[in-house]
Amino acid sequence: MKRYDSIVGIDLGTSKTCIVIAEIVDEKNFEVIGAGTSDSRGINAGVIVNIDEATDTILDALDKAMEMAGKVRVRDVIVNVSGKYIKSFDTTATVNISRGKGAIITENDVKRVIDAARINASSGGDEEIIHVLPRNFIVDNESGIQNPINMSGSKLEIDALIVTGNPTSLRNLRTAFDNADLYVSDVVVNALASGESTLSIAEREQGTAVIDIGSGTTDIGVFSDGSLIYTRVIPGGSKYVTNDISIGFKIPFEDAERIKINHGNALPEYIDKSSTIKVDIGGIHQKDISVYELSKVIEARAKELLSLAKKGLDKSGYTRYIRNGGVVLTGGFSLLKGVDKLAESVFETSVRVGFPNYTGPLFEMVNTPIHSTIMGLLLYGIKNIDERDRRYNGPLDKILDFIRKIFGDIF
């Protein structure tokens, strides 16, 4: 019996925390049955800054999602992770296939070489390894192999991307969920999750950058040959735009956010300079605001955020990998009018806005760049569900599964 009948993703954002519950249809597909969102508290730029407030935020969003999903057991969750402490680097490892001439490489051999890469990457470092992502396997000096299982060989090598995070920050993350009586079965970096949900197979193969700009962080991911090959997180996101509007027009932050969403445009050259809008301020009085001046404020900060992402890519040396696929812009920031065109001028390549590749139930609720990360968490989870099942195949889990089989939803 599989441990998982449903799968739960949780996107901890600086401004919003989202939870999506999905029912597993088969080994490749799921259907969304519930979703909930709450204003984030205790979370800033991808880091838990107040565990109790973060736990309350999680429980609030979970209650809303479960109310929609109905009678469903939620215990194991897949959670995103972001923040400036996320780092990535390459490593290699080698294992011998010592079973005689013509030995066949097994799944266990692949696991051994991945474990060896993990050990190599962890030696001398204090960071916690979040992902070991194979980029390339080499069998008896033959490179470019994506899946070596069932091949003949005497030596198996791996070229992998290592993604790490700050151990203290990750412990605080897990503690916040523990306090909500939830178990974090997987932690997934934002860029990997957003790439899972927004990129086509062709884009992942030919080389594409995912730029996920949320409220407090900008997550960069470069994909090539089907794999994530680089990721970085830059502090700063769309709340900086809102803050500029708030300061520039001397209005409350909440009103500035509403104006940004309803009237914002990142391309002032397309705005009539005489155009104004009347804005309710705090529900008390109205204020006239120039749409053109609003657009200029948005353009300045948006261009800075995009330029920082471009600078990060250039510094990494991975810009050359995205010449064919260009940039996919996602996250709430990408919904700003004109921001994709502004991004094209900054990155000097093609740019499109990335939406989750999901067409099932509750499509209208989750088919937005705001939910790219959380839908990617579900896709990542269903791809790796067999691995998580293997983590829970001990005697105690078999007993619990037997009890659940008899008593069903009581447990």
What pLDDT shows up at residue 396?
A: 47
CA distance to 110, 215, 235, per residue, from 128 (Å)? 22, 25, 20
* Rounded Cα–Cα distance for residues 194 and 198 (Å): 6
CA-to-CA dists, residue 193 to 188, 332, 371, 382, angstroms? 7, 15, 10, 12
CB contact at 8 A, 153 and 140: yes
Tokens of 354: 């990335």
Q: What's 87-165's CATH class?
A: alpha beta
* 155 has a pLDDT exceeding 90: yes
What pLDDT, on a 0 to 100 scale, did the predictor assign at position 4? 57
Dump pLDDT digits (tens) for 157-177: 999 999 999 999 999 999 999
Q: Where in the chain is the domain with CATH 3.30.1490.110?
A: 87-165
Separation between Cα atoms, residue 204 and residue 410, nearest integer Å: 43
Model confidence pLDDT, tens digit, residues 299-345: 999 999 999 999 999 999 999 999 889 999 999 999 999 999 999 99
pLDDT at residue 393 tops 80? no
199 has a pLDDT exceeding 60: yes
Rg over alpha carbons for the chain, rounded to the nearest Å, is: 23
Provide φ and ψ at 345, rounded to 5°.
Answer: -70, -30
pLDDT over threshold 50, residue 22: yes
CATH domain 1-83+167-199+357-411 topology: Nucleotidyltransferase; domain 5 (3.30.420)
Q: What pLDDT score was predicted for residue 39?
A: 96
**Backbone φ/ψ region at 8: left (φ over 0), alpha (ψ -120 to 50), beta:** beta
pLDDT tens for each residue of 71-126: 888 899 999 999 999 999 999 999 999 876 778 999 999 999 999 999 999 876 78
| Domain span(s) for CATH 3.90.640.10 in the chain | 238-301
> pTM for this one?
0.90
Q: Could you name the CATH architecture of 238-301? A: Alpha-Beta Complex (3.90)
**Tens digits of residue pLDDT in 24-76:** 998 889 999 999 999 999 999 889 999 999 999 999 999 999 999 988 888 99
- Report the Cα–Cα distance between both ends of the chain, in Å, rounded: 15
Which one has a higher pLDDT value, 45 or 8?
A: 8
- For residue 51 the two structure tokens come to 């565990």
Which residue ranges does the chain devote to CATH 3.30.420.40?
A: 1-83+167-199+357-411
Q: Taking 50 as the threshold, does the pLDDT of residue 398 lie above it?
A: no
Angle (nearest 5°) at CA 352 between 347 and 356: 130
**Which distant-in-sequence residues (6+ apart) come within 8 Å of 196 by Cβ?**
375, 376, 379, 380, 383
Interval 257-300: pLDDT, tens? 999 999 999 999 999 999 999 888 777 788 999 999 999 999 99
pLDDT of residue 409: 43
pLDDT at 386: 64
Give residue 124's pLDDT: 65
The reported pLDDT for the residue numbered 395 is 47
What pLDDT score was predicted for residue 117? 96
Q: Identify the pLDDT of residue 411.
A: 38
pLDDT score of 284: 77
